Copies of this chain bind each other. A is one copy, B any other.
Amino acid sequence: MLISKIITIGDEILIGQVTNTNASFISEKLYSIGIPVSRVVTIEDTEEALINELDDSVKNFNVTIITGGLGPTHDDVTKPTLVKYFKDELISDEKVLEHVKSIFKNRNVEMPPVNYQQAMVPKNSKVIFNVNGTAPGIWIEKNNKVIIALPGVPFEMKEMMKSKVIPMLAEKFSDDIKYVLKSKTILTTGIGESNLAELIGDVKPIIGNNKLAFLPSLYGVRLRIDVKGESINDTNNKIEEIENKLRAKIDEYIFGTDEDLPEKIVGDLLLQKNLTLAVAESCTGGLISSKITDISGSSKYFLGEICSYSNNSKFNILGVKEDTLKKYGAVSEETALEMAINVRQKFNADIGISTTGIAGPTGGTNEKPVGLVWVGLSDGSRTFAMKFMFGNNRERTKIRATYMAFGILRNHLKIFY
């Protein structure tokens, strides 16, 4: 089996100012191509510490990734130590030098001479080009062991790992790599875990030997598909096949995949269908409105919101009938319905949505416990409200009610428009 190791160089990590997020990113990527990491070490930026680790690397690991210590100053120990350890010499790389010069030119800054140093690379190495910065990556091979040095800046390192290092390693070790892993997350909303499981039914015919995890979140249940294949193509095909089988069963609850945002999805739908939205919030306290307006261009479909946090304001400003509030209370189906109807009319919007509930941690009763939330919707022809129980954490209830409202709105737009 192929195994790999990560060496992180940097005093900020050792004094606890910075968390080693680079290591988890690199670990995940190497694991996904079947070269799992079995050792991560963070060391001081000294030649001695690095040489000790290189001894171990060359002896015990197929692949070693070093991050950090690649800058142009005398503190930066990685390049000189690699040259010394592998008995190599530094030569200037023309393409890298041009790139470094162009970076300073684009900033309209004279290049400090120390940066000539950045274009110097070990003669017996491959250069890994760094589009986002001045320090190139270095790929050294010895006895079929690979040592790769990358800059410590996460933004630079990540791009280099994804676009260069991983494909290069996959190619170099193509005969030895036994598996490739890939995952994709299907985002659902508006349905609970057990109902979703029931709709999907027996998973065996859908996933075969692969994995499907149900991950409840504040935004809805996420379904993570994990597949293992012989090649990247193989895993892509498997993921696609499983996703299609899932969509055949639960498509109406799927609002996106991986990093998709519900607030962007509903915004795009409103825009595409040329509809406008207004919101009446109580227990969500403005969070629905704030999430919607996080999306650039939301002013094209979002007209505004009223947060009626006090009972008086539900009556005075939103025009909920005094009778309704008295008879059914502020947290009730009737109030949620009137809030949705009235906010739609007040803003002259196509659709109004509303929330009213008990966020807690206090204010609950036996009949109306903490976590009870009504979400209402009115579009002029249709008006309804749905009841939810979101538990006794105030912040979570706000978030869950907000994303439930997005889910209800999204389904409504899909079905009726």
Contact = CB atoms under 8 A, between A and B. Distances in A.
A227 interface: no
A242 interface: no
A236 interface: no
Contact of A294 (B296, B346, B398): B398
Interface string A373-416: 00000000000000000000011001000000000000000000
B299 A310 contact: yes
Contact of A13 (B40, B41, B49, B310): B40
A310 B346 CA distance: 12
Interface in A33-66: 36-44, 49
A14 interface: yes
Contact of A42 (B13, B39, B292): B39
Given A41-B42, A285-B290, A296 B360 contact: yes
Interface string A305-327: 11111101100110000000000
A179 interface: no
A183 to B, nearest CB: 11
Per assembly, the copies of the chain total: 2
A254 interface: no
Interface stretch (A18-26, A102-110, A267-275): A18-26
B27 A347 contact: no
A253 interface: no
Contacts of A288: 286
A314 to B, nearest CB: 9
B19 A20 contact: yes
Contact of A361 (B18, B296, B361): B296
Interface residues of A, number: 68
B29 A24 contact: no
B20 A294 contact: no
Nearest to A363: B299
A67 B116 CA distance: 43
Nearest to A20: B20
A346 B318 CA distance: 11
Given A312-B348, A346-B317, A362-B296, A24 B20 contact: yes
B14 A27 contact: yes
A114 interface: no
A225 to B, nearest CB: 16
A332 interface: no
A287 B299 CA distance: 15
A351 to B, nearest CB: 14
Given A286-B293, A305-B309, A15 B36 contact: yes
Contacts of A316: 346-348
B303 A309 contact: yes
A16 B20 contact: no
A361 B303 CA distance: 19
B312 A303 contact: yes
Contacts of A25: 16
A37 B20 contact: no
B16 A27 contact: yes
A307 B280 CA distance: 10
Interface string A1-31: 0000000000001111111110111111111
A304 interface: yes
A134 interface: no
A44 B27 CA distance: 13
A302 interface: yes
A335 interface: no
Given A286-B305, A294-B394, A43 B36 contact: no
13 contacts: A13-B24, A13-B27, A14-B37, A14-B39, A16-B29, A40-B42, A281-B286, A284-B290, A293-B307, A296-B362, A302-B310, A304-B309, A316-B347
Given A20-B24, A286-B287, A289-B309, 6 more contacts: A13-B23, A14-B31, A17-B24, A41-B41, A285-B289, A294-B394
